[in-house]
Amino acid sequence: MASSLSSISPVAAIYYYMSSIFIYGTFSSKTLSDSPHPHLPQFVQTYLYQSTLPLKLWSMPHYRKGTYQQDLKDNLRNVAIPGTGIPLSIFCYFRFTAFLFLLFVQPLVVVVAAVHLKLNKGYSYKEASVQFVKILLGEDLDWCSKWRVNCNVAALHSVRTLKVGGYDMENKWEFLEKGQDMRVPVSPILDLPGICVKHKNEEGGLGIHFYRNAMEGGDWIIQKVISNSDFVQSLLPSNAPLSTFRILTQSRAAAKVGPSGWISPAIRSDVEALSCVFRAGRSGALTDHDSILFNIDPKTSIILGGTTNANWYKLGLHNALPGGCDWRSGDEEHVVSEHPDNPGKKVKGIKVKELPKMLELCCSSHLKMCPDVPFVGWDVVLCQEDDIDGGMCILEVNLSCNFFRGKYDEDMWWDFITEVVSDLDSMGKGEEPQKATTSRKRSTSRKRAKRKTN
């Protein structure tokens, strides 16, 4: 795509032109053939459309929060563009500030990224300009932007398809209850009405806490602590937390749902796994949110190189000062081969023999529990046999899901998103979508662009 778009001048005009159309119109309100740039790839149109969705969905109900605005505020409060130290949630308090972010801050950040490549990474002016085009128009997105694409599509889909109910699985208790009912191996719940926790050295009624179990109508899910399997633990330092495998699945059955419910039934071939990442927890961390992200090849089950996204979670002024935070993580290309807290122990190249079983577990669970949800991120645990029969369970699911920098077929991903938002656009006009196509017959402009580039 780089060679085909780098000749478009000015590129920023395309960004503003298409964004303004989508802010005030619908996905189909302007076709590519009507555009001043009819050769613009389809996925660019899809990317720019979904970028405007937060403004459209701002006050609408969200499946886990009161409104989409509230969800943005809560989920972006610990995320900052590297080197700024400013949480992205600061732009989510008012619709106007979100509008300013889309039209001014986001393009400015892309400019800074291109300048960074020119000054610090040895890129030529032409190479930096090409990268500017690719980032601004959606071909070379960072992990955070890809995460937000999935979040935006899921939010729109949940608003337009209220009759089915798969989005209830975002609630951790609903997920565990349904998983148990459907005999899906989920993390076990203690069958207790509640627990009392006391500090070992406090007196006079201090340091005592009572927690009522969710199964008794309380707010707390009470579970026993489970441990990494011997295989997983062999890849980690001794004091690493429970470390999960994030498997992201895609359901084409999501395009078979309309405002009135199912148009046609979901079947197993509708669901497939897109990516898998081993989140290798850091030494002393409580959870694997602090981890090295090792990509895994779903076809061979071999662990590939590792990387991190920790530089996106550095808040505060000290991280905006020179040397406070790397603009990029330093290992963008998955070059880590061993766990940094477990030197000498290779992780890259190890085969995860249980991976085919884990992939099938996630795909079949997607079909059973929430086939109407387009994307689901499953946190799968390989644990001790004493913790759960079979030594494998699903810890939780994430419907506003994150690839965690795993590799996947981006052409297929963009084609599916285009199909889904096109159908949702027709629902917004009061129409039922056509019966979904589960094959991959749609042509992809990304593939055509790549052929031109090559």
234-267 pLDDT per residue, tens: 999 999 999 999 999 999 999 888 888 888 899 9
Q: Is 262 in the same domain as 361?
A: yes
Q: Is 387 in the same domain as 427?
A: no
Q: Does 404 map to a domain?
A: no
* Burial class of residue 149, CB neighbours in 10 A (0-12, 13-18, 19+): buried
Rounded alpha-carbon distances, angstroms, from residue 391 to 160, 279, 330: 38, 18, 35
Q: Is 121 in the same domain as 170?
A: no
Q: How many CB atoms lie within 10 A of CB 338?
A: 17
Q: Is 84 in the same domain as 27?
A: yes
Q: Is 194 in the same domain as 178?
A: no
Q: Is 25 in the same domain as 113?
A: yes
pLDDT at site 439 = 36
Q: Is 136 in the same domain as 180?
A: no
> Confidence band (pLDDT; 50, 70, 90) for 450?
very low
Which of 398, 419, 436 is the C-terminal boundary of a domain?
398
Number of helices (H) and strands (E) in the chain: give both, helices first.
14, 10
Q: Does 403 map to a domain?
A: no
Q: Is 210 in the same domain as 182?
A: no
**CA–CA dist 98, 90 (Å, integer):** 9
> Confidence band (pLDDT; 50, 70, 90) for 30?
low
Q: Which domain holds residue 324?
A: 166-188+226-398
Q: Which helix (H) or strand (E) holds 365?
A: helix 355-369
**CA–CA dist 46, 18 (Å, integer):** 10
Q: Does 150 map to a domain?
A: yes
pLDDT at site 323 = 59
Q: Is 89 in the same domain as 208?
A: no
**CA–CA dist 327, 115 (Å, integer):** 12
Q: Does 405 map to a domain?
A: no
Q: Does 416 map to a domain?
A: yes
Q: Is 246 in the same domain as 204?
A: no
Q: Is 375 in the same domain as 231?
A: yes
Q: Does 85 map to a domain?
A: yes
Which pTM value belongs to this model?
A: 0.88
62-72 pLDDT per residue, tens: 999 999 999 99
Q: Is 43 in the same domain as 112?
A: yes
Angle between helices 410-428 and 143-160 (to 10 degrees): 30
Domain count, the chain: 3
Tell me the three state secondary structure of residue 383.
strand
Q: Does 437 map to a domain?
A: yes
Lowest-confidence region among 207-216, 217-226, 346-355, 441-450: 441-450
User: Is the pLDDT reported for residue 184 higher than 50?
Assistant: yes
